[in-house]
Chain A
Amino acid sequence: MPDQDPVIRRTTSMEQRVDAIQAALDERGMKATEAVEELNHLATEQWVPQNGARVVARAWVDAAFRERLLANGRAAVEELGLFMPKHHRHLVVLENTPTVQNVICCTLCSCTAFTIIGLPPDWYKDFEYRSRVVRESRTVLREMGLELAPEVEIRVWDTTADTRYMVLPMQPPETMGWPEEKLVGIVTRDAMIGVARL
């Protein structure tokens, strides 16, 4: 007897798959629906790039904080009330300079310090970025709108372990002397990934 269903059934939609898991867990008393509502809120309202922007702005105006941030990122961001999941054991902050551009990626999956720099954008998780940024870094950055002078050294960081990275962009010269709150507004997620300069 064939062990396969003789009728070819269609693959269900993603909505149906999400509903199926959620309902199966609810039926077991695991209260998935309640948790999903709370976590939807965290993902869309709290794990946002403004967290990292606060870190960057503070590092620009407070040299002692900047030193602590570069020495131990995880401890330094906690000073601003920001936290990372338990399995993100280490935050390495990568300082850009006029001659160094750091850029982060995850070629094996799509890891990021998402509670700090925000959940990753779609392109970060796409195969184009994951396959090419390690091998064709300058070309990829140029295609994304970042033209770097030839003397700028590119340093790519592939997130293959549970160490997380964020880029500390250079402060634009015209913003020197601005108050910290105003500086927060100019820091973008893409600059903290390293595919843009401010």
Chain B
Amino acid sequence: MDGIHDLGGRQGFGRVRYTCNAPAFHADWEVRANSLYAFAVRLGVFNMDEYRHAIERMEPRHYLTASYYERSLTGLATLYVEKGIVSREELERRADGLFPLAAPSAPGRTNVPTRGRFKFGDRVRVRLDYVPGHVRMPGYIRGKTGVVVSESPAYPFPDAHAHGVEAQDEPTYDVRFRSDELWANSADAALIHVGVFQSYLERFGGQS
């Protein structure tokens, strides 16, 4: 989904609020929220793609005003409710007030059947896919061309894995893009590397 979470290249955000050796946590509840998440992973309540997608499905105004650990806890609570382990009513009764959750999910999809294999140095183009459910293709590379610099082992296909859809695991390719090809005349010069699933890619140009 082209959601609010897809932040790469968006303009208007200010300076990074950077401090040297900044802490990961600012409050005791953040440590506990992180542990409740790790506990659910250990129990196998959900997979990583379901978790990431649950956060992406947060209402955009909520997403933008929530801290990282509020987003994490919202995703976690949404999945506990959707999987029927806890009800929203019980959570709101125990918490004594409204407990905002993420919006329902759209359908997922399986692998692209015509996906190809690529090797180091291949020029590839990111397909012009618009996906209603979970996808790990940041919008800033859609339709753009880059060069394969390495291949990672096969992972579950996120677009399926987040939705309980059957799919084959597939490799990801580290694809190198030039920033001036992603944002012509509007970016600092750099090479941007993105881990791109095989199903998101097609060969570009005539070379093998």
* Count, A-B residue pairs, CB within 8 A: 247
Q: How far is the CB of B199 from chain A (nearest CB, A)?
A: 12
Instruction: Provide the A153-177 mask, 1 if CB < 8 A to any CB of B, else 0.
Output: 1111111111100000000000000
Instruction: List chain B residues, Cβ under 8 A from A129.
Output: 16
* In contact, B36 and A18 (Cβ under 8 angstroms): yes
Q: Is B138 an interface residue (CB 8 A)?
A: yes
Instruction: List chain A residues, Cβ under 8 A from B179.
Output: 134-135, 137
Q: How far is the CB of B38 from chain A (nearest CB, A)?
A: 5
Size bracket of the A interface: 35 or more
* In contact, B95 and A19 (Cβ under 8 angstroms): yes
Q: How far is the CB of B25 from chain A (nearest CB, A)?
A: 8
Q: In the docked arrangement, what's the CA distance between A134 and B178, Å?
A: 10
Q: How far is the CB of A151 from chain B (nearest CB, A)?
A: 11
Within the complex, which residue of A24, A139, A160 is in contact with B86, where a contact is CB–CB below 8 Å? A24
Q: Which residue of B lies closest to A130 (CB)?
A: B7
Instruction: List chain A residues, Cβ under 8 A from B136.
Output: 108, 160-161
Within the complex, which residue of B23, B31, B189 is in contact with A121, where a contact is CB–CB below 8 Å? B23
* In contact, B96 and A12 (Cβ under 8 angstroms): yes
Q: Is B5 an interface residue (CB 8 A)?
A: yes
Within the complex, which residue of A122, A158, A159 is in contact with B23, where a contact is CB–CB below 8 Å? A122
* In contact, B24 and A11 (Cβ under 8 angstroms): no
Q: Is B120 an interface residue (CB 8 A)?
A: no
Question: How many B residues have CB within 8 A of the partner chain?
Answer: 85
Q: Which residue of B lies closest to A24 (CB)?
A: B86
Within the complex, which residue of B18, B76, B186, B197 is in contact with A123, where a contact is CB–CB below 8 Å? B18
- On whether A128 and B16 interact (CB within 8 A), knowing A21-B76, A135-B8, the answer reads yes
Q: Which of B1-43 contact A (CB under 8 A)?
A: 5-11, 13-27, 29-36, 38-39, 41-43
Binding site for A on B (CB under 8 A): 5-11, 13-27, 29-36, 38-39, 41-43, 47-48, 52, 55-56, 64, 68-70, 73, 76-77, 80, 85-86, 90-92, 94-100, 136-138, 140, 150, 152-153, 155, 172, 174, 179, 182-183, 186-197
Q: List 9 A-B contacts (CB under 8 A).
A: A10-B97, A19-B94, A32-B36, A44-B25, A127-B64, A136-B187, A138-B189, A156-B193, A158-B195
* New A-B contacts (18) at CB < 8 Å, excluding given A16-B97, A144-B18, A158-B194: A11-B100, A12-B96, A14-B30, A17-B99, A20-B94, A21-B77, A35-B35, A40-B31, A43-B25, A44-B31, A90-B153, A107-B7, A119-B24, A129-B16, A130-B8, A132-B16, A158-B8, A160-B196
List the 3 closest A-B pairs by CB distance, nearest first: A107-B8, A161-B195, A39-B35
